[in-house]
């Protein structure tokens, strides 16, 4: 990926400014060459359009009125391009509707595959006509190297007393907390209307990855209008919203199965899905990316979130199961074409989206994911990366110091770039207790570090050590909800695990660690610009003493050069002599082991130092630093 592709600034050129103005002034203009939108379009009544090939007739029923027959729209000569059209002058925003589709003499009712909202995820659901007014995009999304992401699950983020689930409205009530923490980007787990994955999962709760259709916003969260208000509230606080989207499968009992009543040869489960073994993902049916209309269904859904809801970026779930089948065992060119087309449309269709991030959850470390499509890649800006996560997890959860692999962490830091999202916790890594990785359950770090006492000093120090390394390494750092307040509970897939906000009061010092790290990462005080710059040099890696130090920098010099020192042992080092990139005074900006963060921590284990001439660790200067057990110290120059 070119440097310009990764490092563009939100207001770098006049074209970008024009895009911002377009979004600020009002809704985007649709090109005259653009096809009329499918779904329900309210304007002087409501126009309904639905793609339904190979059927005998279609009618639309609004509320309890008599069904209105639909006609085939001119200009679609192929049978599989058939679009049906009706204008219902009495239909208005807030009304319910269904399609009545007759095939081979049998009439069935269907929700609209393009409905922005449904009455619920159950089989008796109706589609709803919603206000199409768009939300303005954030004027100046954070540049990729400045992003600090907070992963949020709306259903559990802020569950109010007496409520069974969180909503966009209740999440909005905690946005000031997130703003105060310093995060400038929220990644919201999927908000597609979803159903139970299996009989063991409570209705309408499974993290959101099992959509019944792609366009409808989760009704239990508050629906489309509340999502728009939530996004606007985030933008009012200069917080970008990244949405997790799921295009690799739908839930088995989804509303697109056998749509229109069309089954038979080539359409085992209908027109939206593969008719062969490519359909099976193990989680639910895979869309047929080879059909232009299905590929457009996904592509236009991605653009919908950006245009209508003002979403500032998308994180594509499990792209490996789009570009491949059977989790990477067989290439799927149809899916690869979808990824390339969608990312090109993301940036090139009107209105253009030049600064909205596109993230792949592929987890293969494949450079092609973040290579521009013009160079043969898939065109994403970034991808989730597990390498640093696993090296850190192995290190901080090992019982004995000698089992911590400093070299592995060194390699993961050096191999990083801003083409990756990095973390020490995410929803998958803390929510699968029965799914082992390295022989250990995937649960919260404090619970893994000390299985007998999740709130021990070791659990506190080593979990925050991992977070500090993430926050200072190359990549886009991400936290998972509750991590900053030392949540030790498994984020359960089968039952809700609401954030316990009392822990902010119980562990204010640990919350402050994350607040201070975020401020340093974002260079709020103007002293640590190197933490968001492109260069890294891991110059010190002592496998015997389990210490590590690295240099982060852009152009170098005061306010730019940053040295990060990590102690992965239970020993004090007073002093620890290490190399420095420049001579002169280096000031401690952060010490994760300071007593100000927790009464069990020490306060005398770090100090400012002076680097003097003399080679050390391959650098031309050296100095003594102080660092306590399982701690991270950050130094820079004025």
3-state secondary structure of 255: coil
The neighbouring-strand residues paired with 28 are none
pLDDT score of 352 = 73
SS (H, E, C) 515-526: HHHHHHHCCCCC
pLDDT greater at residue 417 or residue 257: 257
Peptide bond into 575 cis (omega under 30): yes
Task: Count up the domains in the chain and report the number.
Answer: 2
Residue 601 structure tokens:
């921590």
Considering the domain boundaries, does residue 406 fall inside one?
no
* Mean pLDDT of the 572-577 span: 96
Place of tokens 């901080």: 396
* Mean pLDDT of the 190-216 span: 80
Considering the domain boundaries, does residue 155 fall inside one?
no
615 contacts 570 by C-beta, under 8 angstroms:
no
342 contacts 304 by C-beta, under 8 angstroms:
no
Q: Is the pLDDT of residue 112 over 90?
A: yes
247 contacts 317 by C-beta, under 8 angstroms:
yes
- Residue 351: C-alpha distances to residues 22, 27, 374, 602 (Å): 8, 10, 20, 54
Of 110, 140, 163, the residue that ends a domain is 110
Give 51-98 pLDDT, tens digit per residue: 999 999 999 999 999 999 999 998 766 778 899 999 999 999 999 999
Considering the domain boundaries, does residue 553 fall inside one?
yes
Considering the domain boundaries, does residue 559 fall inside one?
yes
Confidence of residue 202 (pLDDT cuts 50, 70, 90): low
pLDDT score of 77 = 64
550: Cα within 13 Å, side-chain hemisphere: 28
Confidence of residue 416 (pLDDT cuts 50, 70, 90): confident
Considering the domain boundaries, does residue 556 fall inside one?
yes
As a dihedral over the C-alpha atoms of residue 188, residue 189, residue 195, residue 196, rounded to 10 degrees, the angle is: -140
Q: Is the pLDDT of residue 23 over 80?
A: no
SS (H, E, C) 111-165: CCCCCCEECCCCCCCCEECCCCCCCCCCCCCCCHHHCCEEEECHHHHCCCCCCCC
- Residue 384: C-alpha distances to residues 257, 364, 418, 516 (Å): 31, 9, 11, 24
Of 110, 130, 151, the residue that ends a domain is 110
pLDDT score of 11 = 29
* Mean pLDDT of the 338-355 span: 86
Cα 628 to Cα 20: distance, rounded to the nearest angstrom: 48
pLDDT score of 25 = 31
Backbone φ and ψ for 14, nearest 5 degrees, come out as -70, -30
Contacts of 222 (CB under 8 A, 6+ apart): 167, 168, 169, 230
> For position 554, which CATH number holds?
2.60.40.1180
> For position 56, which CATH number holds?
2.60.40.10
Confidence of residue 108 (pLDDT cuts 50, 70, 90): very high
* Mean pLDDT of the 443-463 span: 97
Determine how β-strand 584-591 pairs with β-strand 382-384. unpaired
Q: Is the pLDDT of residue 264 over 60?
A: yes
- Residue 535: C-alpha distances to residues 47, 416, 528, 551 (Å): 54, 10, 13, 8
Question: Could you report how far apart the first and last alpha carbons of the chain are, in Å?
Answer: 33
3-state secondary structure of 89: coil
Cα 502 to Cα 161: distance, rounded to the nearest angstrom: 13
Backbone φ and ψ for 394, nearest 5 degrees, come out as -60, -40
Considering the domain boundaries, does residue 555 fall inside one?
yes
pLDDT score of 267 = 86
* Mean pLDDT of the 417-435 span: 93
pLDDT greater at residue 575 or residue 32: 575
Give 322-333 pLDDT, tens digit per residue: 999 876 668 999
Confidence of residue 3 (pLDDT cuts 50, 70, 90): very low
pLDDT score of 349 = 75
pLDDT score of 200 = 56
Confidence of residue 36 (pLDDT cuts 50, 70, 90): confident
What range does the domain containing 622 cover? 529-636
**Neighbour-count burial of 560, counting CB atoms closer than 10 A to its CB (0-12 exposed, 13-18 middle, 19+ buried):** buried
Determine how β-strand 476-480 pairs with β-strand 149-152. parallel
Considering the domain boundaries, does residue 4 fall inside one?
no
50 contacts 83 by C-beta, under 8 angstroms:
yes
- Integer-rounded Cα radius of gyration of the chain: 26
* Mean pLDDT of the 100-120 span: 97
482 contacts 503 by C-beta, under 8 angstroms:
yes
Give 133-186 pLDDT, tens digit per residue: 999 888 878 999 999 999 999 999 999 999 989 999 999 999 999 999 999 999
Taking the mean position of all CA atoms in its chain, how far away is CA 54?
38
- Residue 349: C-alpha distances to residues 39, 299, 450 (Å): 20, 11, 51
pLDDT score of 502 = 98
Of 110, 128, 145, the residue that ends a domain is 110
pLDDT score of 29 = 38
Considering the domain boundaries, does residue 547 fall inside one?
yes
Cα 359 to Cα 525: distance, rounded to the nearest angstrom: 29
State the chain's mean pLDDT as an integer. 91
Q: Is the pLDDT of residue 203 over 60?
A: no
pLDDT score of 247 = 98
Q: Is the pLDDT of residue 564 over 90?
A: yes
């Amino acid at each position: 990926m070119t440097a310009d592709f990764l490092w563009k600034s939100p207001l770098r050129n006049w074209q970008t400014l024009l895009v911002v103005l377009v979004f600020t002034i009002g809704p985007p203009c649709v090109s005259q060459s653009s096809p009329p939108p499918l779904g329900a379009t309210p304007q002087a009544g409501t126009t309904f359009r639905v793609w339904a090939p190979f059927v005998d007739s279609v009618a639309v029923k609004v509320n309890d009125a008599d069904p209105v027959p639909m006609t085939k729209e001119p200009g679609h000569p192929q049978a599989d391009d058939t679009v049906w059209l009706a204008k219902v002058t009495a239909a208005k925003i807030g009304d319910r509707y269904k399609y009545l589709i007759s095939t081979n003499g049998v009439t069935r009712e269907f929700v609209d595959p393009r409905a922005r909202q449904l009455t619920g995820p159950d089989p008796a659901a109706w589609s709803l006509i919603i206000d199409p007014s768009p939300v303005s995009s954030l004027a100046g999304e954070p540049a990729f190297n400045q992003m600090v992401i907070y992963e949020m699950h709306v259903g559990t983020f802020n569950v109010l007393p007496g409520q069974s689930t969180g909503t966009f409205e209740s999440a909005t009530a905690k946005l000031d907390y997130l703003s105060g923490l310093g995060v400038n980007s929220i990644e919201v787990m999927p908000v597609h209307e979803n159903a139970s994955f299996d009989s063991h999962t409570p209705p309408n709760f499974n993290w959101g990855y099992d959509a019944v259709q792609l366009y409808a916003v989760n009704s239990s969260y508050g629906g489309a209008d509340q999502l728009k208000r939530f996004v606007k509230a985030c933008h009012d606080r200069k917080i970008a919203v990244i949405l997790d989207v799921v295009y690799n499968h739908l839930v088995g009992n989804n509303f697109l199965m056998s749509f229109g009543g069309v089954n038979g040869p080539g359409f085992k489960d209908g027109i939206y899905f593969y008719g062969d073994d490519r359909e099976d993902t193990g989680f639910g049916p895979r869309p047929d990316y080879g059909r232009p209309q299905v590929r457009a269904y996904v592509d236009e859904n991605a653009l919908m979130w950006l245009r209508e809801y003002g979403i500032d970026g998308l994180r594509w779930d499990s792209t490996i199961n789009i570009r491949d089948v059977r989790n990477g065992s067989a290439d799927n060119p149809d899916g690869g074409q979808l990824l390339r087309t969608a990312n090109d449309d993301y940036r090139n269709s009107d209105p253009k989206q030049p600064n909205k991030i596109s993230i792949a959850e592929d987890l293969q470390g494949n450079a092609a994911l973040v290579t521009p499509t013009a160079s043969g890649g898939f065109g994403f800006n970034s991808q989730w990366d597990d390498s640093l996560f696993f090296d850190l997890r192995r290190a901080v959860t090992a019982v004995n110091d000698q089992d911590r692999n400093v070299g592995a962490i060194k390699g993961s830091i050096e191999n990083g770039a801003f083409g990756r999202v990095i973390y020490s916790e995410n929803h998958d890594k803390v929510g699968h207790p029965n799914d082992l990785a390295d022989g250990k359950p995937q649960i919260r770090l404090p619970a893994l570090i000390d299985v007998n006492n999740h709130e021990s000093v070791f659990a506190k120090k080593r979990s925050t050590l991992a977070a500090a390394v993430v926050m200072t390494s190359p990549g886009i750092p991400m936290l998972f909800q509750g991590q900053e307040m030392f949540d030790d509970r498994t984020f359960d897939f089968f039952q809700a695990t609401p954030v316990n906000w009392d822990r902010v009061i119980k562990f204010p010092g640990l919350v402050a660690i994350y607040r201070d790290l975020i401020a340093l990462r974002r260079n709020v005080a103007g002293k640590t610009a190197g933490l968001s710059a492109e260069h890294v040099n891991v110059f010190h890696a002592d496998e015997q003493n389990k210490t590590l130090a690295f240099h982060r920098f852009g152009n170098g010099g005061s306010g730019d050069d940053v040295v990060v020192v990590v102690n992965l042992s239970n020993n004090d080092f007073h002093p620890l002599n290490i190399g420095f990139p420049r001579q002169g005074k280096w000031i401690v900006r952060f010490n994760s082991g300071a007593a100000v963060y927790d009464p069990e921590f020490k306060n005398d284990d770090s100090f400012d130092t002076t680097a003097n001439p003399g080679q050390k660790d391959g650098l031309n200067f050296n100095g003594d630093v102080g660092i306590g057990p399982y701690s991270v110290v950050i130094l820079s120059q004025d």
